[in-house]
Amino acid sequence: MITKKSAIALGIALAFCGSAGAADKTKQTRVEELEARIAKLEEMLRQVTTAAQQATTAAQQATTAAQQASSSAQQAGEVARKADTTASAAKAASDAQAPLTKAAAETASSFEFHGYARAGTVSNSDMFTVKGVGPYITPAGNLGGAVGRLGLETDTYAEAKLLKNFRSDDGSWATFGFMLADGVNSNNDWTGGENGINVRWAYAEMGNLPTFKGTALENATIWAGKRFDKKNFDIHFFDSDFVFLSGTGAGVYDAQVTPDWKTNVSVYGRDFLNEDDEGIKSYVFTMNNYVGNWQFMLNGMHAKNNDVNGSDRATSGLHGLFAYHAPSFYGVADGFSKTGVLAGRGLGAEVKRLGAVGNLLEDAQAFRVMSFGVTDLAPKWKVSPALMAEVSKDRFNKGDEYKWASANLRFTNAINKNFAMQYEGSFQYMDLDSTFTQAKGNFYKLTVSPTFKLDTGAGFFARPELRLFATWMGWDKDLNGFTYDGSANEGFGSTKFTGDSKWLVGAQMEVWF
C-alpha cells in the first residue's frame, strides 16, 4: 500500500522529473534525494506551523493584555475622577472650615491665663505641724512689720487670673480681667469648711480709643470694676507691697500730662477689714504719678460713719508715697533697686493697705521707709538686701507708740542648671507700747534652703521652685505676751511659742506665670 506520504513524494517527483517512463539506472538515487528533500520540507512546514501557533497565542495574549490594559485604564480613569471629586469636596470643606479655624485661633489667642501659688508644710523640732508662722510672725506683724519669708510660710495660697482681650479694626482694645483666689492654713487636700475662695478681680479696661485722640488720654487706659491697683510694687522677700490699693471703683491709667509725666487717677470703695458694720464704707481717692524713674502718690480717704464705733475714730485720712525706681543696684552695680518713703495721718496711718483699716484714731500718724535691690555678687551668686522700718503713734489708743525695723538678706548660689542653695538671714528690732502692754527686743532668723528649678540661669525671680528648708529663729523673751488690746496672750506674736527660740523644717513650692 502506498502511504499518503509516498503518494505526495511520488507526485512531486513526477512533476519535477518528467514522465514516469524516463526512468534510468539512477532512478532509485533520485527518489531517495527527493524523499530527503520532502522530509526537510515537512520539518520546515512543522516549524512554520509551530511558529504560527505561537504567534497566534502571542497575539491572543497581546489582545488579552490590551483588554486588561484598557480595563485598567478605565479603572484608573474612574479612580482619577473619584479622586478629583474627593479633592474638590475636600477643598470645599477646607474653604468652609477656614473661617471657623481662623475664628477659633483668634478666639484662643485672645485669652490669657496667669497665676500665682504657694503651698508648703512646716514642722517644729518635735515634728508637730506648725501654724501661725509666716513673715508676719512677730508682735510687729500687726503693724506690717514683716521678716524674711523663706522657710516660714505654712499656708496654701493660689490665684488664678483669666484675661479676655478684645481688638477693633481701628486699633482700640479692651480687656476683661477675672481672678479667683483661695488661702488656707491647712495641709489637707479638702478644706471646704476652712478656705476662703474670693473673686478678687472682676473689671474691664479700654485703651487707644479714637475718641481721645489728640488729648492727654490718647494713650491712657480707662477702667471700672473690682481690681488691685496695677501701678505699685512689692518687696517679695518680705511679702509686702509698697502700697496695696484694692477695691471696687473706676479710674484712668497713664494719662500723659507732659512728655515725661504720666498720672493715674482712681476712686476705690471698700469695706474695712474685720468690721461687721456694712453701713461704714471707706473711699480712697488716689493720684499716682510717674516722672521718669520717680514716683509720687497722693491719697485721700473718707469713711463718713466710722466714728459711730468710737468717737475718736478717724473718718478721714491723708497718705503720701515718694519713691525712686533705679535701673541699677543703688548706682554701684548692675541690677535694680527700689526705695520709698510713706507717711500718713488718720485713716492714712495704715500706710500699706490703703483704706482697709478702720480702727485708727483721728490723730494717728505713721512714717515708713522701704528699700530693696537685686544684683549679681559673683557669676553664680545673687544677693538681695531688703529693709523696712516704721514709727507710728496714737494709732489705736491715745498715747500708744510703735517702732520697728526689719532687715533681710537673701543669697542664692546656683550649683548647676537645676539646683541652687538659698540662704536667708533676717533681723527685726521692736519697741512697742500699746498702752496695755509694752515690749522691746529683737528677733533673728536664719534659713538654709536647697532649691530645685528648671533653669537656675533664668534669673532670681524665675519660677517654679521646689524647696526644702531648715529654719532657726530666736527672740528676746520680753516680746512674749505682747497684745494690742489687753487680751490674754502668753505666746510670741501670732504663735503660741513661749520660749525664746525654735527650729522649723519643711518643704514648699512656689510658682507664678
User: Can you tell me which residue has the cell 508682735?
Assistant: 139
pLDDT given for residue 20 in this prediction: 42
pLDDT given for residue 256 in this prediction: 97
The reported pTM is: 0.80
Every domain of the chain and the residues it spans: 111-512
Supply angle C-alpha 51, 57, 63, rounded to 5: 135
Question: Which residues, 6+ apart, have CB-to-CB distance to 495 below 8 Å?
Answer: 130, 132, 133, 137
Q: Judge if the upstream peptide bond of residue 450 is cis by omega within 30 degrees of 0.
A: no
Take residue 330 and report the three cell numbers written for it. 543703688
pLDDT given for residue 23 in this prediction: 45
pLDDT given for residue 1 in this prediction: 47
Residue 176 and residue 164 in contact, taking contact as beta carbons nearer than 8 Å = yes
CATH topology of domain 111-512: Maltoporin; Chain A (2.40.170)
Task: Give average pLDDT by consecutive 10-residue segment, the chain, 513 residues.
Answer: 48 45 59 76 76 73 70 69 71 69 80 97 78 91 98 95 97 98 90 84 98 96 96 94 96 97 97 80 97 97 88 94 98 97 98 96 98 97 98 97 98 98 98 97 98 96 97 97 91 91 96 97
CA distances from 238 to 144, 383, 429 (A): 10, 15, 15
Helix (H, G, I), strand (E, B) or coil at 417: coil
Residues 326-341: tens digit of each pLDDT: 999 999 999 999 999 9
Which helix (H) or strand (E) segment holds residue 8: the answer is helix 4-17
pLDDT given for residue 28 in this prediction: 72
Q: Backbone phi, then psi, for 360, in 5-degree steps? A: -95, 145
pLDDT given for residue 16 in this prediction: 45
Residues 454-508: tens digit of each pLDDT: 999 999 999 999 999 999 999 999 999 999 998 888 899 989 899 999 999 999 9
